[in-house]
Amino acid sequence: MGTTPVSGQEVKVYVSSKAGDRLTSKKPLHFSEEAKPSLPSFEIDDSERRQTMVGFGASFLEAGLVVLNTLPASEQDRVLRALFDPVAGAGFSAMKTTIAGTDFMSAGPWYTYDDSPGDAELKHFSISRDLGPNGSLTFIKRARKYGNFVLQAPMDYPPDWMLDDVKGKQDVNPKYYDALARYYLKYLVEYQKHGVFIDYLSLFNEPGVYTKIPYNEIADLLKNHVGPLLEKSGLKTRIMLSEAPQRAEAFKNYPAVLQNPGARKYVAALAYHGYDMKDFDKIAALHKMYPDLPLWQTEVCWCYICGAPASIPLPRYDWEDGDHWGRQIFGDLESSASAWIYWNMILDEKGGPWMVSPIHEDPDPNVQHPVVVINRETKKVTYTAVYYYLAHFSKFVRPGDVRVGVSGTAEGIRCLAFVTPKGGHVAEITNSLPEDKEVGLRSAHRTLAVTLPGLSITTLLW
């Protein structure tokens, strides 16, 4: 067929907007060879290849399943399909789970997989809670009925008896490094025995906030304990360094580990959190330092204890919130992130339930904003604006797609473009302005005129 551009090629259009569209299929558009210089335009450059995409999603936490289980069975299925089915729903493709206790593992009190003091041989290790009706493993297996996704798993704390008790629970006692390595391995093995493979083990969730472990000790754990043990086991699970709470902290601290060749050889990806809501340039700079290591933004949300304005009620039901998260996704992807994961996937109308354990940095109250709100009294299910902006990416930008170059600017408008393994194209365009805006999209010497509704996200497929 040659490489001659096809004039009039059809472009599928999907829109979510403040005006009321929700992943709505619109009348197809068509490319034209006629240039429209009066329109602000974006030019797609297929030859400029960036990161390969891994996926988009949220987190499996007990709180979500506790709330989901309050619905009739058919409604539960409908929610899971809306989240994981790539055709009928959002098709979430990259998910987070946790290694035992964290603030929304709220089906019971704080727990780890071995709370028997001094059990260095892990004779009492058990994932039984995760197998329960509200457990993480149960949640994961139910979701897998509707779609496929990769899983990454970090840990807030190891069992308390592994920690030095200085001014409260602090760092891992070095005498337990081997026991901790075995703890990680037993978690991976037990999950796999029950049919769930963890693709990425992330050593610590927000080190310094939770386990107070310095990065030079993380390097030691990787080089001399966790890395060799996992390698010897033959498991295919790969390792993430850990997860800094903010982008600037990842940029500052990760080199302390990655400059150690013995530790770096075990690191397959770099995860970080986005609670600063800024400093995307730091992540872009980190990528330039280590271009061979994929970047994952693995946790962010609104919560009062992590910066949400006290004047804004949580959960949020306003459409403007979606535009905020659209800008966060764009910032991370433009900085070379290959995956983007929100925190709580499902919560109730009170932004809970949360688990309380002050010694583990889990306060009361801890109101947060999820992707889906289920009112436990009325049984109403609300898909928040976060859901729709995230769904435009997870549904249409699939694992294996590659981000390509986009040039051009327009006030309040942002554009990202991707090519699929089969040569198709995906463009995601947001309009943060309150009014409709027409823009031009140039690809292969052709122009597509697109009208973007006010406060909207538009997906184009061709």
Give how many domains the chain has, as a whole number: 2
342: its two tokens:
């929100």
437 pLDDT band, cuts 50/70/90, is: very high
Assess if residue 29 is contained within a domain.
Answer: yes
- What is the average pLDDT across 195-223? 97
DSSP labels, 314-369: SS---THHHHHHHHHHHHHHHTTEEEEEEEESEEETTS-----BGGGTB-S---B-
- pLDDT, tens digit, for every residue of 212-259? 999 999 999 999 999 999 999 999 999 999 999 999 999 999 999 999
| Residue pair 48/402 in contact by the 8 Å Cβ criterion | no
Q: Are residues 165 and 60 in the same domain?
A: yes
* Residue pointed to by tokens 């068509």: 30
Do 339 and 380 lie in one domain? The reply is yes
Pair 126, 261 in one domain? yes
Q: What is the pLDDT of residues 102-156, one digit of tens each?
A: 999 999 999 999 999 999 999 999 999 999 999 999 999 999 999 999 999 999 9
> 320 and 293, same structural domain?
yes
Mean pLDDT of 83-111: 98
Q: Which residue has the tokens 């089969």?
A: 422
Question: Do residues 309 and 435 both lie within one domain?
Answer: no
324 lies in the same domain as 205: yes
Token duo for residue 367: 């109101």
Residue that is last in its domain, among 399, 418, 434 = 399
Mean pLDDT, residues 190-219 taken together: 97
Q: Are residues 407 and 391 in the same domain?
A: no
The count of C-alpha atoms lying within 13 angstroms of the C-alpha of 387, restricted to the half-sphere facing its C-beta, is 25
Within this chain, do residues 151 and 189 fall inside the same structural domain, yes or no? yes
How far apart, in whole angstroms, are the C-alpha atoms of residue 443 and residue 42? 9
The chain-wide mean pLDDT, for the chain, equals: 96
269: CATH? 3.20.20.80
Residues 47 and 61 in one domain: no
Domain assignment of residue 409, yes or no: yes
Helix (H) or strand (E) holding 52: strand 41-52
**Spatial contact of 63 and 344, defined as CB atoms under 8 Å apart:** yes
pTM for this prediction: 0.97
* Cα–Cα distance list, 221 to 74, 274, 431 (Å): 46, 25, 46
Distance separating alpha carbons of residues 225 and 55, to the nearest angstrom? 30
Q: Looking at the structure, tell me whether residues 112 and 163 fall in a common domain.
A: yes
Q: How far out from the chain centre does Cα 152 lie?
A: 9
- Residues in the chain, total: 462
Domain boundary at 399, 424, 443, which?
Answer: 399
Domain of 237 in residue numbering reads as: 54-399
**Residues 407 and 353 reside in one and the same domain:** no
In the predicted structure, residue 207 carries a pLDDT above the cut 90? yes
Instruction: Assess whether pLDDT exceeds 70 at residue 166.
Output: no
Residue in 248, 247, 298, 274 with CA at minimum distance from that of residue 98: 298
pLDDT-based confidence at 2, cuts 50/70/90? very low
